[in-house]
Structure 1
């Protein structure tokens, strides 16, 4: 991005007559230190918090003014309490940067960024949201522009009043902080941290951010007596002794609040000078504080001031003249009189507005207005703005605010109209959280039952787009309790869709859909009825009744084809292609995902993600490498354009591709990425997916020995996930516990077990245990269950646990039992693995076939050749489990430890001693940042998820103690 020019600082920062800036020495030092780090390329974010009037904005303005004088590019933004725009306070900084970024936008992605942000910043227009792209792409675009700007010039973002930021802007704030940790960006944000202005949404968002290295909180405390004396000495020009006497009184009166100090210092000092013994008290409220100043105005002037306060924090003179019921001369004179009384600040230059010096001052005026007059004032403002100021900035949001405030006077319908338009505006700019909240607010006001239900459904749709599926479901339940039959059915469909994606069981969705369907005629030509059948099919399958779900789904798809509406067909293909991964009718579901891809790819909707994900899973089962490649490309693009939960699925697919390729370090990294995303994606749904993924990587890399000390062999399968417990017993060669648990699992494997998504894992882990134990009876019982998967790979869940060809397990069972055709089974498994280009599965099939040949001839040359081929794959990749099956487990362990560099062996030795990154840096004379990088590399290479497991690895491989001695 080429050189760009920062705009002038806000006039209020640089105008003469500002009160003196005192105290805050530590806070200024903290902000200076953050700027120094940012200049070095280590992005920083500092959030300045405190009560109203504590001097947050003044601290930031003082520091930014000085940094600007030293050459920093300072961009400012602020939030408006009542009618802010989507993604405020980032809108104004982006308006400054986007023209320069646009000039350099040559690549397609950069052009897309410009077009996207221009739409987000557009002040007018209410187009429906473009469903070919999601909110995360907007966030990425903002970060992209900020990072580009910082490459040519270090950047300070000063964002004021973040406690009034909308929920979408709060989400963006988090992405900006995370996305600029290695950029020359200093973000300074101010916020109130006490009621009534404290924002729980902001607090929840900041909590995880504060754990990042470059994020700090600065809490402003009240001024001390000495700091107040500094202020008075400068402001009043009196001696230190006199200033201190006044300071003691002022500290008691104001509590050290800078805003109140600014308002109270003069009468206190004058009283002290005159030796007055009259009692000076701080009024009980901010309204009382300004009452004496308001008393200086005549009734007409007070009316104008009250109108200004209701109108907003900043006031346009033209709007005031148009709305005021007094003459132009009286209105202007009233504004000037209020400015002379210090109640409002006059424009500093042409084009500026009148503004209240602080939100406290404005609120103080409003508190003195009778409630009835406040309502009438809101109504007049809304009516005049609507009629006479059609191009006023933020007109839609302002009309929504003022009509909503005046709804008790009969303006409820106008309030609903403009809240709806404001919601649509936010939706069109991808601020889905803001839109959902506005639609909900409109629904609360509307007296019409059907309109309220319609608005709630639109709110649910937006919360779903914002990935808050829990809130979407809760809103749908409201519609289901009071809507008309067709609205109830739409709500039930939305509820099911918001349940399926985070993986919730289908029981509640099934009940709601069944009840709603009972309320409408079963018309095979009704598109809503047809779509509901598709949702019903998926909900049914997600209760475990997969056969019934398949039956309903087939009918839904047939009706959708007969109806001829591509959207209805796509909806039903999406629902019915995602019922199950079981092998029966797999070809049908694969055909549906392919057809869905064809329908939605040109449109670019998020539904392409569902098609890509399930097509990838089905392609893995069939060993279709080309299908997986194409699906991965689609899923990567959906993640780029939509983010949110697609980042989780993208990580899962990357984990799977790396795992079957034998790239275990890469698989471990993808697994950790998926684990970070899983909690946010699944919400209130419980899941052990990431734990199983991690286990699969660790067992292939030989990293399970560290679990031995945590396992007694007496664990109850009723209290644990029994398949996982059995797998651990098997891998650790705990034969008696494994036999006990295998028998228990076989006993508890009922006729419906195969419908569970974890059935393939249960089958694989039971088969491995039976083979380890030589339990022919168990193996023979498992054989027909595995036979259903013949010719396919085994996968539990969606890219949770990948086991390779079922034929490999069948061959091993037939080899153990002396039945069937093991060689044909192994060859089929090998062919499947090679078609899928899955080296891990190739090595497993080769090793299993070699083991079979050695049963009859321990010195078999063919077995040796197969083992050599398997070892050639396994050893470079560090596939310890495969090597152990080949009888070279010790070499595998040594190789794994040898995968660490000399420096990493030193670091892991120090980790085993309990040293922190700082201690390691000091011991090895390296930077703490470099030490942290070494630790991250060690965790990746060893498969450890934390320092404790890395220490255990060090002790197991003789790397603990003497860490400084080298390898």
Structure 2
């Protein structure tokens, strides 16, 4: 973005009549230092907080004036106390930048960002919402524009009164601070930090942002007596000594509040000059000041002043004239009188508005009005604006605000109408948090129970779109409890379940709500709502662990949905029933459903594409469908581009992690894992388990970096107090046989009848199998074999894209080779074929190595085994597959006759104990294996070395240095 024209500074910052700027020397220095950093390319954000009237806005405006003189482009935005527009205060700066950005946009992404923001900013609520772009994509577009503007000219973004910002704007604020961290941008925000104006949502966001380098918080303290002395001396033309006494009294009266000081200094100084002892009777509150000034106005003028106060902090004279109940002449005179009282400031430039001297003064005027007058004023404003000012700015939001305030006078229905329209506008502008809040606010006003439930459902859906599933579930559950309409309760229960499964919550509560809701409606299998609810019941049932029951219910729901001419219900049922489980027995059926679902949801452009793509990609890996994985990755990338939500960036990272790892691109896998970790910590979720911990381990073990944790491992860790599969995997990698054997036995004891329903069961199986093979634990291998057989022909994967272990037939072949059963060679052939289909060089190399190991088990000098090992090494060495290479080295060493007579690592341990004169029972106890397994090892050793008894075996061990 080339040179662009910065607008003039706000008129209120630069016109004459401003009080002198005093004190705040440290704060000014901090802001100027932050600017110097920003100019150097290290973006900064400074948030200035304090009580009302503490001088926050004046500090920021004063610094901005100075920075503009030094070449900064200053863009100002502000929030209003009433119902504002979505993304306020960013809308004003963006409207300045967008024309230049769009005119100079060249690449498709920039063009798309410009078009998207223009649609979002200019939507009037009359057009249909575009659901093909997500909120995070809007946020990304804002950052694109700001960064582009700052590339040609360092930028100051001054955002006032952030405590009144809506929830979507607060989300955007967080993204902008993070996204501009390396741009020439200084963000200055002001906010009140005390009730009643304190924003908890903003406070939470600032607390989170405070962890970032370059984010600073400045809390403004009241003026000291010395600072007030400087102020009085300048304003009154006195010496500091002459101003001191007045300053001390002003400090006592105002508490050092700059706004009160500005209002009170003159009468205090004049009283001091005249020796007036009544100075102690000066007003000691803003209301008292305002009351004394209002007292100079007549009744009609007071009415106009009150109207202006209710209209807003800034008021359009035309609206005041149109709404005022008095004549034009009286209204104009009233505005002039209000200016003379210094409660209202006149327009500073042609076309400007009247504005209250401070929000404090405006609120004080409203506080002094009788409550019924305030209600009647809100009602009159709403009625006149609605009838006579169709082009008024923020009309929908203003009508929603004024009718809501006047609802006690019988305007509740109008309030609901405009709150809903404002919510729809927020939804159309992708401000889902704002929409959720407005729909809920409308629900609190309507007296109609069904309408209230309907509005709560719309609110919940908006919060769900904002990825705030806890808030969505709260509202859905409320409808299931409060509504007397059975069908609305069913819809709410469906929504609750949909807001539960993606965070991975147990399905018990969702199933309870669904069952209760369905009990109140007829079980009509021609009813689309009933069918959709069945699909939700199926998934909720699955998330309770009852997979078999869930699949029966799901099959019936799909069958019924296909008979209906209702795309929505078919989509909903296919979604729910394709994401119930990762069990191997139904993977092909699940994939067929996702394959049916994707063409239905792809034209919608919604996030449903992503949910389907994630499932499709996961199933494609299990089945070894490379084209399916490619398509899933493309869908996730496109959805991430259009929605830019951390949620989808997370899944894109997960898919890329899996593809890189199985292809043996370990550096790329490590980078993808880091990206996944960043996104995992950014998007909101109820899930507490971290997928990246296991992903990171998978990379480290393949690249041979597990050894680094050895100093942290004692071997005495409790399997019950740690994640046992991970503990077992580390023991196995580090070669700690006794702890590995103990942990393996513990894990086998914990396996229950429903273990296979867990998404991490394949990972548990893989880690247990690897340990059993390394330990040559025949008893464990015999237990594991039938469980692994369920996965014949499939790849093993823990979770979705978390830990890919490769072909189950590879693990089955190694078990069968150890046990001397089945057809290991056939298993390995199938595993190689699946690895090739999966584009998985890592799995292919490991299977080649396992084949060599099997062949040497029966013939230590097998040339065919050497050929397989050579092929594996040719793949592993260039890719840095350290784990594969180490396994190959162990196999080679074991096969060398001069080294160990073809003995395995475990057999070397056994023959060393034989040489010590140990019995089979002693060997079993020492190696924590069964006596039967020890006897098998002894027989295998005697066969391999050609010994006829244990004495000859002992001699062999001593000769070969195995003792």
Distance 1:4 1:582 in 2: 58
TM-score by length of 1: 0.90
Q: CA RMSD in A?
A: 1.9
Distance 1:252 1:340 in 2: 27
- Which residue of the partner structure matches residue 623 of structure 1? 624
Q: Give CA-to-partner distance per residue, 1:534-587, whole Å, 9 cap, x none.
A: 111111111111122111111111111110222221111111111122211221
| Secondary structure class of the residue paired with 1:563 | coil
Offset at residue 132 of structure 1 (A): 1.4
- Which residue of the partner structure matches residue 940 of structure 1? none
| Secondary structure class of the residue paired with 2:216 | strand
- Which residue of the partner structure matches residue 821 of structure 1? 823
Within 5 Å, give how 1:146-225 maps onto structure 2.
146-225=146-225
- Which residue of the partner structure matches residue 919 of structure 1? none
- Which residue of the partner structure matches residue 590 of structure 1? 591
Contact 2:338 2:344 in 1 (8 A): yes
Q: Identify if the C-alpha distance between structure 1 residues 188 and 583 changes in structure 2 by more than 3 Å, giving closer, same or farther.
A: same
- Which residue of the partner structure matches residue 474 of structure 1? 474
Q: Give CA-to-partner distance per residue, 1:80-108, whole Å, 9 cap, x none.
A: 11121000001011111111112123433
- Which residue of the partner structure matches residue 310 of structure 1? 310
- Which residue of the partner structure matches residue 371 of structure 1? 371
- Which residue of the partner structure matches residue 945 of structure 1? none
Distance 2:328 2:151 in 1: 50
Distance 1:394 1:425 in 2: 11
| Secondary structure class of the residue paired with 2:865 | helix
Contact 1:128 1:427 in 2 (8 A): no
Distance 1:848 1:682 in 2: 42
Distance 1:840 1:639 in 2: 28
Distance 2:655 2:336 in 1: 66
Distance 2:868 2:288 in 1: 91
- Which residue of the partner structure matches residue 611 of structure 1? 612
Within 5 Å, give how 1:434-583 maps onto structure 2.
434-483=434-483, 484-583=485-584
| Secondary structure class of the residue paired with 2:506 | coil
Contact 2:396 2:418 in 1 (8 A): yes
Contact 1:423 1:434 in 2 (8 A): yes
Matched, 1:684 2:692: no
Contact 1:534 1:553 in 2 (8 A): yes
Distance 1:189 1:735 in 2: 60
Offset at residue 680 of structure 1 (A): 4.8
Q: Give CA-to-partner distance per residue, 1:911-957, whole Å, 9 cap, x none.
A: xxxxxxxxxxxxxxxxxxxxxxxxxxxxxxxxxxxxxxxxxxxxxxx
- Which residue of the partner structure matches residue 843 of structure 1? 845
Q: Give CA-to-partner distance per residue, 1:222-279, whole Å, 9 cap, x none.
A: 1122221221121111112112222222222212111111111111211222233334
Q: Give CA-to-partner distance per residue, 1:755-801, whole Å, 9 cap, x none.
A: 11111011111111211211112111211111111111100111111
Q: Give CA-to-partner distance per residue, 1:281-304, whole Å, 9 cap, x none.
A: 664532123222122212221121
Q: Identify if the C-alpha distance between structure 1 residues 464 and 609 changes in structure 2 by more than 3 Å, giving closer, same or farther.
A: same
| Secondary structure class of the residue paired with 1:887 | helix
| Secondary structure class of the residue paired with 2:46 | strand
Distance 2:679 2:622 in 1: 25
Distance 1:258 1:202 in 2: 24
Offset at residue 889 of structure 1 (A): 12
Q: Give CA-to-partner distance per residue, 1:839-897, whole Å, 9 cap, x none.
A: 22122112222222222333433333333333333333333322221237999xxxxxx
Q: Give CA-to-partner distance per residue, 1:803-822, whole Å, 9 cap, x none.
A: 11111101110111111121
Q: Which has the larger radius of gyration?
A: 2
- Which residue of the partner structure matches residue 633 of structure 1? 634
Q: Which moved more, 1:417-426 or 1:859-868?
A: 859-868
For 1:857, which of 855, 859, 873 is the aligned residue? 859
Matched, 1:118 2:99: no
For 1:873, which of 875, 878, 883 is the aligned residue? 875
Q: Give CA-to-partner distance per residue, 1:427-473, whole Å, 9 cap, x none.
A: 11100000000000011111111000000000000000000001000
Contact 2:27 2:218 in 1 (8 A): yes
Matched, 1:433 2:447: no
| Secondary structure class of the residue paired with 1:886 | helix
Gaps of 5+ in 1: 892-967
Distance 1:843 1:54 in 2: 69
Matched, 1:261 2:261: yes
Offset at residue 366 of structure 1 (A): 1.0
Contact 2:139 2:175 in 1 (8 A): yes
- Which residue of the partner structure matches residue 664 of structure 1? 666
Contact 2:102 2:115 in 1 (8 A): no
Matched, 1:271 2:274: no
Q: Give CA-to-partner distance per residue, 1:641-670, whole Å, 9 cap, x none.
A: 221422222222122122212233332332
Within 5 Å, give how 1:768-783 maps onto structure 2.
768-783=770-785
Q: Give CA-to-partner distance per residue, 1:4-43, whole Å, 9 cap, x none.
A: 1111111111101211111111211121122222222221
Paired residues in the alignment total 891
Distance 1:889 1:203 in 2: 61
- Which residue of the partner structure matches residue 930 of structure 1? none
Distance 2:90 2:467 in 1: 22
- Which residue of the partner structure matches residue 417 of structure 1? 417
Distance 1:228 1:826 in 2: 87
| Secondary structure class of the residue paired with 1:82 | coil
Distance 1:664 1:231 in 2: 66
Gaps of 5+ in 2: 894-963
- Which residue of the partner structure matches residue 695 of structure 1? 697
Offset at residue 129 of structure 1 (A): 2.8
Offset at residue 618 of structure 1 (A): 0.7
| Secondary structure class of the residue paired with 1:187 | strand
| Secondary structure class of the residue paired with 1:218 | strand
Contact 1:880 1:889 in 2 (8 A): no
Distance 1:104 1:291 in 2: 54
Distance 1:598 1:14 in 2: 59
Distance 2:592 2:148 in 1: 44
Contact 2:412 2:446 in 1 (8 A): yes
Q: Give CA-to-partner distance per residue, 1:42-63, whole Å, 9 cap, x none.
A: 2111111111111111111111
Distance 1:869 1:23 in 2: 77
Q: Give CA-to-partner distance per residue, 1:340-365, whole Å, 9 cap, x none.
A: 11001111222111110111111111
Offset at residue 613 of structure 1 (A): 0.4
Contact 2:271 2:279 in 1 (8 A): no
TM-score by length of 2: 0.90
Contact 1:309 1:366 in 2 (8 A): yes
Within 5 Å, give how 1:898-917 maps onto structure 2.
none
Offset at residue 832 of structure 1 (A): 1.4
Offset at residue 682 of structure 1 (A): 5.7
Offset at residue 74 of structure 1 (A): 1.0
Contact 1:253 1:281 in 2 (8 A): no
Q: Which moved more, 1:473-482 or 1:533-542?
A: 533-542
Q: Which moved more, 1:544-553 or 1:794-803?
A: 544-553
Q: Which moved more, 1:415-424 or 1:690-699?
A: 690-699
Matched, 1:736 2:728: no
Distance 1:664 1:839 in 2: 11
- Which residue of the partner structure matches residue 228 of structure 2? 228
| Secondary structure class of the residue paired with 1:75 | strand
Distance 1:682 1:70 in 2: 41
Contact 2:582 2:757 in 1 (8 A): no
Distance 2:128 2:697 in 1: 45
Distance 2:509 2:789 in 1: 34
Offset at residue 501 of structure 1 (A): 1.0
| Secondary structure class of the residue paired with 1:585 | helix
Distance 2:350 2:680 in 1: 53
Within 5 Å, give how 1:89-100 maps onto structure 2.
89-100=89-100
Distance 1:475 1:223 in 2: 46
Contact 1:502 1:682 in 2 (8 A): no
Q: Which moved more, 1:41-50 or 1:271-280?
A: 271-280
